[in-house]
Structure 1
Amino acid sequence: MNAPMDVVFNLFHGNMIDYFIQKNENKDYLDKLEFIGFKTGQSIVERITKDTPKFKNELDIIKFICKEFWTQIYHKQVDNLKTNHQGIYVIQDNDFMFFSKVSKTKKFTEECVKFLSLPCGLLRGALSQLGINCIVTAEIENLPICKFQIELQKS
């Protein structure tokens, strides 16, 4: 994606969230955004792994997500990956694209949480397509730093 496409993607993402907030008074819009992200993540991974050999283990899959998948979407690799070696991985992006130009006040930090449903869905969908069932949550410590926690679910 080039710079103009980044602008289009950011506008699309923001407008989609605004649309769902306005149309869903019962607050189920976050689930719908997560589902849109899930389906999109599956499609992106299917496309970028078509010529990739099978992964050896879950750590190789997570590393692929941090390098290749993240680069396809955000034009950079993640800044940090941590694991407890018991099925929990934490991906940190120190300059998360959606938050890089947002005011860093507490009010905006609370509002930015709404923007995390779609990226959580993207991650969950990508991992699902690669055979990993998981729960993905996100938190904002200080804008624009964002952490995504991936908790693997045993089948």
Structure 2
Amino acid sequence: RFAPLNRRLVDTLDIVKFVCKDIWMLLFNRQVDNLKTNHRGVYVLQDNKFKWFLRMSGNCGGAAAARRAQPYIWLPCGIIRGILESFGVSTVVVAETLGLPQCTFQIKVVSDE
């Protein structure tokens, strides 16, 4: 139960900022390096030194290393999606890595239409 006690989060951007700052610090001992949004329900979180990739070898090349690292980013995708769902925001979370230890998470808010 790690929720902000002094404020109520209702705006999706505030909830994503909460994930980038507080939850990321709790899980990975650092904040997200970059947060971008198009203000239409798409958020991109970039972590240039993703903790789970720091000791992973990238000797086999960019595409092969990214393929090997893919299963390790499924859990953080689920964590992000679960936290947002607990705030009532339905999302689709997709992650990709172009080169280790960098990782990018794309969050798309699903409308209830």
SS at match of 1:59: helix
Letter in 2 for 1:91: L
Distance 1:121 1:56 in 2: 21
Q: What is the CA-CA distance between 1:146 and the residue it aligns to?
A: 0.1
Distance 1:148 1:127 in 2: 14
* Gapped regions of structure 2 (runs ≥ 5): none
Aligned to 1:93: 47
SS at match of 1:142: coil
What is the TM-score when the length of structure 1 is the normalising length?
0.67
* Residue 109 in structure 1 maps to residue 69 in structure 2: no
Aligned to 2:75: 118
Q: What percent identity do the matched residue pairs reach?
A: 40
Matches within 5 A, 1:1-150: 47-49=1-3, 51-104=5-58, 105-106=60-61, 107-150=64-107
* Gapped regions of structure 1 (runs ≥ 5): 1-46
Distance 2:95 2:82 in 1: 15
What is the TM-score when the length of structure 2 is the normalising length?
0.90
SS at match of 1:48: coil
Letter in 2 for 1:53: R
Distance 1:70 1:58, change over 3 A: same
Of Structure 1 and Structure 2, which has the larger fraction of its residues in strand? 2
Letter in 2 for 1:114: P
Name the Cα RMSD after superposition.
1.2
Of Structure 1 and Structure 2, which has the larger fraction of its residues in helix? 1
